[in-house]
Every structure is written in structure tokens, then in C-alpha cells.
Structure 1
Amino acid sequence: MLRSTRLAGVLGAALLLAACGGDQTEGSPSLSGSDGDTSTGSAQSAPSGKQGAAPRVPNPLPVDGILADPCNALSAAQLSRIGLDAPGTKRETRTGSECVWKSAAFQDNSVSISPMTANDNGLDGIYANEPEDEYFEPTTIGGYPAVYANVIDSRSNGDCVLWVGVTDELAVSVITQIARGPNETDPCPVNERVGTAMIEQLGRG
């Protein structure tokens, strides 16, 4: 019942979004199964042409590779160090493409990366949706502005959503769903590791 409730929450958040239009350590993250669309609802578009409340991206990253295939966001070496099985699975969602990887240690656990092409205002769109979010915690990932945010707070159940601004026009979601293992009730550190690896990989061009 708990698993069904969590997946329903993620799917509900995806529908809301569609309507709104460092060094890595080794070991397997205790990343939960991602059977449905893992996109979330924190990307309501800010008014076009207006700067929002989000911090500016200091050095925009090359994004052609991740837009063509979000599975390009992590290298094979990074996946091995983080503890994710390769290759990832590319899927189309209502908000764009995503790539999902399973944990090598716990196949029920997963992480997904998705460039939020449905929102062309980057992190400004995420910040605009703050009143709707149950949690909203700005941070920095690999020197880039980011925020932990989602319309449903199920972090204690193993789900965490991180948004990273890779350009001022594009935010990328990093979503962990963890059903088993040491991060089952504290998933967000895994998002940080994956997000940092993604920044490193994109920086290589």
C-alpha cells in the first residue's frame, strides 16, 4: 500500500507539471523502483522574459548531449563508482525525456535524471512553484544553483527530488526512489552525489 501511495503521488505531481507547462565515494546507493513517470510538479513556468528569484547560473554547461539523451548525463565510470547498473533506460514522459538507472545492490531502488524541457525558465520556474511545494531547500551542487523541492514530501519514505540549474533556461531533475538499504529514510545525499557527477560529466562537453 505504501509503495502504491508513493507512486500515485509522483504521477500526480507529473500531471501538475504538464498542466503548468565533488569527489565521489564508492559503494552502491540504496536507491525505489521507478515503474511510472518519475517527473514531478515543481516546475511551473515563470513569466517569459522576466528574471525570477532563482540564482543565476555562473557558467552555463553544454546541454546538447543530455537533451539528445539524458542517459548521457553520467559516464560508465561514474555509474560504477556510484553503484548504478549500466546502461540506463531512456523513457519519454509528459515533461520530456528521462533516464532511469537501477541500483546495483538493490534492484528495487532507482535514480532518474530528466532535463525539464517543458519549462524554459530553468530554476526560475521551480522557484515560482515554491508556494505549492511541501519542501523547498535551496542548495549548491558542484558550484551550480540547485534546490530540493517537490509538491509531496516523502523523503522519510525514500523519495527525494533535486533540481539543478545547468543554464538559466534549463533545470534538470535528479530523483531518487529508495525502497531498501541505508538511505531508505535519508535519500537526498544520494541525489547530491548523482547531481555532482552529472555536473562533472556535462562540464566535459
Structure 2
Amino acid sequence: MGSSSGVRRGAAAVSGLVLSVVLAACSGGSGAPSGTSQSADASGSQGSSEVDIANPKDAAATDVCSLLSARAATELGLSPEGERKSSLIDESDPDSCYWQDPGDRATKSRFRVFEGRSIQSYYENPGEFQDFKKLTISGYPAARANKGDPVSAGSCNVYLATQQNQLVATSAHVSVEDTGKVDPCAKAKKALKLSVSSWPAAE
């Protein structure tokens, strides 16, 4: 009996570990390059490697669900009101806001604000992403950074620098039917283009 219960406990532990790994993989995490932290990003962004941000914004000065206006969400084919959610994987992750297609909840956009993280940490570590491209969106430095192929995965992460040490991350997800056919990165970039001008200016 003792050895039998021990085996069951061991199997349960392994199952729990596998489930945790699967959940972490599905969540995508914070998308930060490995080896970076908020303090490291903050110190690393100071100096000659700073990117130019002509009109800095403070995306953290407003509610995350205010980052995408109802009009912009509707133009993207999403519900006008977003839903705020906390991370189930990492409590240190900032809250997200999701806007979904009312007819197909798999199609959605997600916004998050990361304080203490520089776009430079992505520019300096492109090799950590299978899919990486420097971008400029409405005059702001940005990056497309994904661990896999966005078209095949049906989702894409894009990061936009609002300040030297603040990023807005958006991810776009397309429906199962559109996966492999529609580029979700185009949708993520469009969401940022439609919204960045409305964010509060940095003081």
C-alpha cells in the first residue's frame, strides 16, 4: 500500500508539473527576452543606446481597458467594451484587457502595460525570437517579437515604446478558420495605430 500510494503521489506531482508547463506555454508569459528584468531594463536603457521617443506617453496613467477606444475596437471588428483580467500564471504580470469578436470569441486583441521595461531589451536580443522585426508605429519605436511563427500560431505579439522604460504590449488572435491564412501581426499593428494617439501624454 505504501509503495502504491507513493507512486500515485509521484504521478500526481508529474501531472501537475506538466499542466503548469502547458498553461505557461499557452499564456505566452510576459514576452520579455530571457535574462532581462525590470531593473535591468531600466538601467540598460540609459545611455547612448536609448531610442528616440519624440512624444512620450504614459499608458499607465489610464485604465488598461481605456487604451483601445470603443470606436477603434469596433473598427477592428471587436466588442466596444474590453474585459480586464489578471494573470493566472504570474502574479507580477500587469493586468490585461481583452476585446473579443462577439461572433467568435477566439478572435481578440489584448493590451498590457509594462513599467520598467525598455524596447531596447528587444532590439538587443532578436535571436531569442523566431519571428522578430523592428517597427515604427505612428512615430513610436516598436517591435514584433514572437517565439513561433505568428501566421501558423494564429497570434502575434507587438511591443510599442511609450517611454524609455515603459512598453505597451498588444497581442492579436485570429479565429481557427483564419489561422494559417490571416496575418495576426497586421491586426496587432492596426490596434496600436488606432489607439496610441489617444493615450495620456507623459508629464
Q: Could you state the TM-score of these two structures normalised by the residue count of structure 1?
A: 0.71
Counterpart residue type for residue 175 of structure 2: A
The one-letter amino acid of 2:109's match is: V
Determine the C-alpha separation between the residues in 1 that align with 2:105 and 2:162: 29
Does structure 1 residue 158 correspond to structure 2 residue 174? Answer: no
Deviations 1:83-134 (A, max 9, x none): 11132111223321111110134222111000113xx142122224323111
- For normalisation by structure 2, the TM-score amounts to 0.72
Give the RMSD, CA atoms, in angstroms.
3.2
In the alignment, does 2:185 pair up with 1:188?
yes
Task: Indicate which of 196, 200, 205 corresponds to 2:197.
Answer: 200
CA contact (8 A) 2:111 2:169 kept: yes
Match 1:101 to one of 99, 102, 107: 99
Match of 2:78 in 1: 84
**Unpaired runs of at least 5, structure 2:** 1-20
- Describe the shift of the 1:88–1:192 C-alpha distance in structure 2 as closer, same or farther (beyond 3 A): same
Runs of at least 5 residues in structure 1 that lack an aligned partner in the other structure: 22-42
1:176 maps to 2:192? no
State the shift of 1:158 in Å. Answer: 1.1
Partner of 1:99, secondary structure, is strand
Q: CA deviation at 1:188?
A: 1.0
Question: What does residue 74 of structure 1 align with?
Answer: 68
Partner of 2:142: 146
Measured in 2, the distance between the counterparts of 1:131 and 1:44 equals 22
Contact 1:54/1:123, CA 8 A, preserved across alignment: no
Provide the secondary structure at the position in 2 that maps to 1:57: coil
Which residue matches 1:114? Answer: 112
| 2:121 aligned residue | 125
Q: 2:8 — aligned with what?
A: none
Which of 46, 58, 63 is equivalent to 1:62? 58
Question: Using the alignment, how far apart are the partners of 2:160 and 2:139 within structure 1?
Answer: 10
Closer, same or farther: CA 17–98 of 1 in aligned 2, 3 Å:
farther
Displacement of 1:77 in angstroms is: 1.8
Which is bigger in relative contact order (C-alpha 8 A, separation at least 6)?
1
Work out which of the two has the higher radius of gyration on C-alpha atoms and give 1 or 2.
2
Question: How far apart, CA to CA, are the structure 2 residues paired with 1:144 and 1:16?
Answer: 19
Aligned residue pairs: how many?
Answer: 176
Q: Percent identity, aligned pairs only? A: 21
Q: Which runs of 4+ in 1 moved over 6 A?
A: 15-19
Distance in 2 (alpha carbons) for counterparts of 1:89 and 1:201: 19
- Report the Cα distance in structure 1 between the residues aligned to 2:25 and 2:148, rounded to whole angstroms: 7
Q: Displacement of 1:59 after TM fit?
A: 1.0
Q: Which residue of 1 aligns with 2:13?
A: none
Q: How far is the alpha carbon of 1:55 from its aligned partner?
A: 2.7
